[in-house]
Amino acid sequence: MVNLCAPRPRHPTAYEQPWFVLNSSRYSVMPSEHPAISHFYAFDVAQSTDVLAVPDGCVDIVFDCDATRPTVRICGTPLEAQRVELHQHHHYFGVRFSPGVIPGFINVLAADLTEQELDLLKVSGFAQRMFENIVQTPRLEEQMRLFNDYLAPRLMGRTSKLTAMVIQQALVHRGDLRIQQLEDLSGYTSRTIHRQFSQDTGMSPKIFCRIIRCQAALETLNTQHDVSFSELALDLGFSDQSHFLRDFKKLVSTTPCDYQRKIVQNAYSDRISFA
């Protein structure tokens, strides 16, 4: 049996939002060299719809580059599948931060960002000029350059070493991590770990690991079409297949079987271009 929980490099579309991809007429991804950012992305919406955002542990900044009424939102991670309104024929540019990273240029507590969408211009004094330039630029590479030029020195928030260690371990173990392991690794009590992590990220270590484990399941289903759900559940540390199915449906809003059917029927991988 393949050990799906063994440490490995993340897939190029890791921390992806699958329902965004499936509801786009085109979807482009560009990796980032900055450790605070997972990747940049751009997409065009085929039709007006309420798209589901799935939990990924990431903060996103999303620019609606509409010529008449552009906007920019900063979005905290949802904790379960959450509806997001997108507009037909609008072009969007997005910045997905690395899991657990809270941008250093916003005046919002981490706990107040989780599950929320806020107007970036109201919570950051650095965003106005950048916003005006980015929404007037159609090319992903140029939008990336503008974002980095304005905000690169302020991307990282003040994450403690303890929280950084928890994030790193959660990613290495694909979410299959117990609090006792964190106590042994850090030398801190579970109470201290929970308090510090929640303060830095806006969610508990348990919830974060649950999200990362679900993302690991999505990654596997996106890239392997002959997956045994019982083996996947075991390899990701679920108590049994039923536990896995319940958790997946709550976070993704469909069953693993239906999800995999949709990505195969809609040629999920072919919809993504890597700039």
Predicted local distance difference test score (pLDDT) of residue 9: 39
Instruction: Please list the residues that pair with 274 across neighbouring strands.
Output: 29
pLDDT beyond 80 at 48: no
Is residue 56 a contact partner of residue 76, using CB atoms and an 8 Å limit?
Answer: no
Query: Other CB atoms closer than 10 Å to residue 76's CB: what's the count?
Result: 23
pLDDT beyond 80 at 135: yes
Strands 272-274, 60-64: pairing is unpaired
Nearest to 270 by CA among 76, 38, 33, 21: 21
Angle at 120 between CA 118 and CA 121, to 5 degrees: 125
Q: What percent of the chain has pLDDT over 90?
A: 75
How far apart CA 97 and CA 189 sit, in angstroms, is: 28
Instruction: Please list the residues that pair with 64 across neighbouring strands.
Output: 71, 92
Q: What percent of the chain has pLDDT over 70?
A: 94
Nearest to 73 by CA among 83, 87, 59: 59
Q: What is the pLDDT of residues 72-120, one digit of tens each?
A: 999 999 999 999 989 988 999 999 999 999 999 999 999 999 999 999 9
Helix (H, G, I), strand (E, B) or coil at 181: helix
* Domain range annotation of the chain: 18-154, 161-271
Q: Which fold has domain 161-271?
A: Arc Repressor Mutant, subunit A (1.10.10)
